[in-house]
Amino acid sequence: MTNPGNDSGPQVTPVHPSQIPAVIDLLVATFADDPGFLRWIPQPDPGNHLLRGLFELQMETQYARHGTIDVVLNEVGDIVGVALWDAPDANHGAVDQARLASRMVRLFGKKTPVFMARSFASARMHPKFPHWYLYTIATTPESRGTGVGSALLNHGIARAGEEAIYLEATTTRSAQLYHRLGFVPLGYLPDGDDMPSELAMWKPPAMPR
């Protein structure tokens, strides 16, 4: 599957089940110091144990089973970029998060209430209308600035077609990129701490003909 509109650019393909461990490795490496995940994951997290456990659980119960995982490979077949999406009919609301509570307890132990409270708060901020949800895009340091992230994003936008897309931007740079591609800011998510706030963004559906 090629990057829409740019046959010479990075190639976007669906993930193969055998690539899931490499996807998790990339996600952990990318988001170990990300403000959004630092806010979600109870700290301290030696060796990123909780962060890795979260991604493993999300892969097992959600994205590898019901979601959409796009990847970009380099010339030797290593994953250099990944995007995790939920389709409009996917389960990403507060009720669905609650169904994972027992699994979360095994992962986070006594820190579970902290994580679940933040998870519920984030889920409640999702628009109530049907929409694609871009959970995250991750790229390797070596691939940044080479069009990998843009290829993943453009591919997802093309797949959504006339349907709406929702996401949370964790940096000003990413928010500016999303804005150039047609996303509008909805406002900063309430967080109650001194870390950079996430900006909710929305790409509206097409107007009825």
Average pLDDT over residues 133-145: 94
pLDDT digits (tens, 9 = 90+) for 141-195: 999 989 999 999 999 999 999 999 999 998 888 899 899 999 999 999 887 777 7
What pLDDT was estimated at residue 105? Answer: 87
**d(C-alpha 189, C-alpha 105), whole Å:** 25
Q: What percentage of residues in the chain have a pLDDT greater than 70?
A: 92
User: pTM for the complete prediction?
Assistant: 0.87
Whether the pLDDT of residue 204 is over 70: the answer is yes
pLDDT digits (tens, 9 = 90+) for 75-118: 999 999 999 999 998 755 555 566 677 788 888 888 888 787 77
Give the pair of three-digit tokens for residue 105: 């307890």
Domain residue ranges of the chain, discontinuous segments joined by +: 12-203
What pLDDT was estimated at residue 74? Answer: 95
* Whether 84 contacts 63, CB under 8 Å: yes
For residue 84, give the nearest of 108, 103, 66, 96 by alpha carbon.
66
pLDDT digits (tens, 9 = 90+) for 10-49: 999 999 999 999 999 999 999 999 888 888 888 889 999 9
Whether the pLDDT of residue 4 is over 70: the answer is no
Q: Where are the alpha helices (H) located in the chain, listed in sequence order?
A: 20-31, 35-40, 49-58, 94-98, 101-108, 112-124, 148-160, 172-180
CA R_g for the chain: 17
What CATH number does domain 12-203 carry, 3.90.1640.10, 3.40.630.30, 1.10.260.30, 3.30.70.100? 3.40.630.30
